[in-house]
């Protein structure tokens, strides 16, 4: 099987909007923090207590809320490199729906667990935020679609995309279990939802949720299939 070297694609339209929105939120957070004003994370980040207080918009705003410059830079690079290629491959419609399903799915499960098991604890009021969840979902999708492409761990160690992704999943699982980080559980949720979407992409429910169309074999119009020929050209999905 031929190998494909990873290279940066052009920054796509939807991801440009995501990065601009993240940059604006980060600047507002930094300014308000320097002034000693309101904590923007408590408003735009996602927490069970915030939702119970009527801040329903947190379901959509929490991915854009970054609080460190390194977080903005690193996560923006992943959105640019991975997200732009996925958007160019799938098209803006499917790409946006893919991200919405992941964002809302993680938010709903995270909130439900906190309401049922952690009401009144610090977890109940601790928000999750940042692009990391979306990025982990993108990386999982990329590793399933292009498992043999070369990526670099820590920009040094080359390995297959599938191996790279599962190492990240292992790190997040360790942090979730032994460091008790709520964000790590959210990242694992995002990866799990992403895997299920890609794995069951030909199922009617997933196709309807993504509003995706598929090519069909000429021999049988009753069976849908995914074009995946890495020997000749990059695999194509949701055409």
CATH 1.20.1540.10 fits 13-210, yes or no: yes
- Tens-place pLDDT, residues 206-221: 888 887 654 433 443 4
Count, residues in the chain? 239
pLDDT for the residue 223: 41
Neighbours of 179 (CB within 10 A): 9
pLDDT for the residue 99: 94
DSSP lists the bridge partners of residue 216 as 224
The alpha carbons of the chain give a radius of gyration, in whole angstroms, of 19
Task: Say which residues have a Cβ less than 8 Å from residue 165's Cβ, sequence separation at least 6.
Answer: 139, 140, 142, 143, 191
pLDDT for the residue 38: 85
pLDDT for the residue 156: 65
DSSP 153: E
- Tens-place pLDDT, residues 56-86: 999 999 999 999 999 899 999 889 988 988 9
Average pLDDT of the chain is 82
- Tens-place pLDDT, residues 91-120: 899 999 999 999 999 999 999 999 888 888
**Looking at the whole model, is its pTM more than 0.85?**
no
pLDDT for the residue 7: 57
pLDDT for the residue 220: 39
- Tens-place pLDDT, residues 141-150: 999 988 888 7
pLDDT for the residue 164: 86
d(CA 199, CA 195): 6
3-state secondary structure 97-131: HHHHHHHHHHHHHHHHHHHHHCCCCHHHHCCECCC
- Tens-place pLDDT, residues 120-176: 888 888 899 999 999 999 999 999 988 888 776 655 667 788 888 888 889 889 988
- Tens-place pLDDT, residues 189-209: 999 999 999 888 888 888 888
């Amino acid at each position: 099987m031929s190998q494909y070297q990873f290279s940066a694609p052009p920054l796509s339209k939807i991801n440009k909007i995501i990065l601009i929105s993240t940059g604006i939120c980060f600047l507002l957070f930094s300014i308000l923090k320097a002034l000693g004003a309101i904590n923007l994370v408590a408003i735009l980040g996602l927490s069970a207590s915030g939702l119970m207080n009527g801040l329903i918009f947190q379901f959509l705003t929490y991915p854009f809320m970054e609080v460190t410059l390194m977080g903005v830079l690193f996560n923006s690079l992943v959105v640019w490199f991975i997200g732009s290629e996925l958007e160019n491959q799938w098209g803006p419609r499917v790409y946006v729906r893919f991200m919405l399903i992941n964002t809302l799915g993680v938010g709903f499960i995270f909130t439900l667990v906190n309401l049922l098991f952690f009401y009144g604890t610090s977890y109940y009021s601790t928000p999750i935020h940042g692009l990391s969840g979306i990025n982990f979902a993108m990386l999982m999708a990329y590793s399933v679609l292009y498992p043999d492409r070369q990526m670099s761990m820590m920009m040094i160690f080359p390995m297959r995309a599938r191996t790279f992704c599962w190492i990240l999943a292992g790190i997040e699982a360790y942090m979730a279990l032994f460091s008790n980080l709520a964000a790590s559980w959210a990242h694992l949720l995002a990866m799990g939802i992403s895997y299920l979407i890609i794995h069951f992409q030909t199922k009617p429910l997933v196709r309807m949720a993504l509003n995706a169309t598929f090519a069909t074999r000429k021999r049988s119009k009753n069976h849908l299939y995914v074009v995946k020929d890495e020997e000749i050209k990059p695999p194509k999905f949701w055409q």
